[in-house]
Amino acid sequence: MARIRADKMRALLKVYFISGSTNTAETELANVLAQAIAGGVTLFQFREKGRGACSGAGKTALGKKLQAVCQKANVPFIVNDDVALALELDADGVHIGQEDGSAAEVRRKIGDRILGVSTHNVAEAKQAIADGADYLGVGPVFATSTKADTRAVCGPEFIARLREEGIHLPIVAIGGIHAKNAVEVVAGKADGLSVITAISNAADPKAAAQQLSQVWK
Ligand code: 3NM
């Protein structure tokens, strides 16, 4: 296996759904994911975080269930933060934040699997690239109440600024994105839209994913 090419990575980032049992009821999550994929989700991240999140065998079982939904539809399955679980499940990749340890160390552990790193400024972006990231997560581009400890809102134009500073790795924007403001993110030079609640809280997850993928057309 070789590292993913940038053009393939950019295509996968277009509509990137992130979720766990604290965003959608655990019993509903596989169903929501299947609907979201039917609506055009290109990549999925299992992010089991926050109060009441599953751990241990329960987390592994939920991860396996969601991975099976992804595999059926040929959508890559990324695990947030938990390298051991990603290796146990033979996931397609890992996403880490700045507080989740060294990206270089994660790269060594996961081989050629996809590595995403959340970054918030040029220095973090350059370090993530040097450490072997395949894509950068940048946010919050808009206000969000889904994650408590986010940095200040950077706005979608911040991604264009990173480009001007010579950061050419694929970038996915995150934070408060929904169908109505997604067009601003696309105009701001992001390669992809990553969302939690725009899909996990939608009355119709398939339609929500369709609306987000429509923004690229
Ligand atoms: N990371 P929603 S914002 C998981 O800024 C996450 O790095 C962020 O959820 C960052 O789409 C965020 O519901 C939450 O706003 C995104």
102 flagged as catalytic:
no
The predicted-structure confidence for 55-78, as pLDDT tens digits, reads as follows 999 999 999 999 999 999 999 999
Ligand 1 nearest atom to the CA of residue 150, by list position: 5
Domain residue spans of the chain: 6-214
Q: How many angstroms is it from 79 CA to the middle of ligand 1?
A: 15
List the structure tokens of 215.
Answer: 């923004």
pTM for this structure? 0.98
CB of 118 closer than 6 angstroms to any ligand 1 atom: yes
Is 118 catalytic? The answer is: yes
d(CA 78, CA 95): 7
pLDDT in tens, 73-116: 999 999 999 999 999 999 999 999 999 999 999 999 999 999 99
Q: Is 147 a catalytic residue?
A: yes
**pLDDT tens string 27-65:** 899 999 999 999 999 999 999 999 999 999 999 999 999
Q: Which residues are annotated as a binding site for Mg(2+)?
A: 81, 100
pLDDT of 176-208, one tens digit each? 999 999 999 999 999 999 999 999 999 999 999
pLDDT at 148: 87
Question: Alpha carbon of 46 to those of 3, 5, 81, 215: distances in Å?
Answer: 21, 22, 9, 24
Name which CATH class applies to 6-214: alpha beta
Burial zone of 173 (CB within 10 Å; 0-12 exposed, 13-18 middle, 19+ buried):
buried
